[in-house]
Every structure is written in structure tokens, then in C-alpha cells.
Amino acid sequence: MKTPLIFGREPAAWLALVSIIVKLAVAFGWDASAEVQANVNAVAAAAMGILIAVIVHDGLGAALIGLAQSGLALSLGYGLDWSAEKQVAAMALVTIVVAMWDRTQVTAPVPPEPIPARAQSNA
């Protein structure tokens, strides 16, 4: 199955774009409180996680990562004092754990071709 695209881009790319836009807007003068920033990112992450799950029909992994991003964003908005490095490390861990689990859930859409009998006897 080909990865579904939204306006020609993978859904995760759109979520990353929203997150970066929020960070840049604040860096360049948007006077948004930490809570407002967290809420914007939380809503975007949750919405994208759900959108991905709907598009791929079995995107539980993407929805879980979106949920983790929303939880982190909300935690930061309500006082969690983590540096950007800690946030990245935590989300990297969540992402790799979900990816490792997801890999065990994926099956090939077409079974492998059997090895011809002649090739087996030469092995």
C-alpha cells in the first residue's frame, strides 16, 4: 500500500510544519502563552493522528504518536519544564517504540514466491 498523501505530502510532514510554524511565530514575536502554544500543537497533533489513522485504515501507530505529542504539548502548557532536548528525546523514544511495534504488525500484501525446485537442489 502506498503512503497516502495530503496535498502531495505525507501527513507527518504537515504535522511537523504546524509545530515549526508555532515555534517560529513565537520566536519572531507572537505573544502567545505557553498554554496557547501547547493547545495549538496538541490540537494539531491529535487531529493529524486521527486523520492518519482514518486515511490508512490501520494507522494505530500514527494515532499513538499523535496522542503522545498532544500529551507532551498539554503537559508543557500546564507547567512541565522540559528543555527542547528533553522533548525531542521523549518523542524520539515514543516514535521508535511505536515503529518497532508497528513493524511486527505489517504483512506483505503479496506472499513471497516459492523457490523453484530446481533452484533448491542447487543450494
Q: What is the mean pLDDT of each run of 10 residues along the chain (123 residues)?
A: 76 82 90 81 78 72 82 83 91 90 72 70 56
DSSP for 61-85, please give it: HHHHHHHHHHHHHHHHHTT----HH
Which residues have C-beta within 8 Å of that of residue 109, sequence separation ≥ 6? 1
**pLDDT number for residue 86:** 93
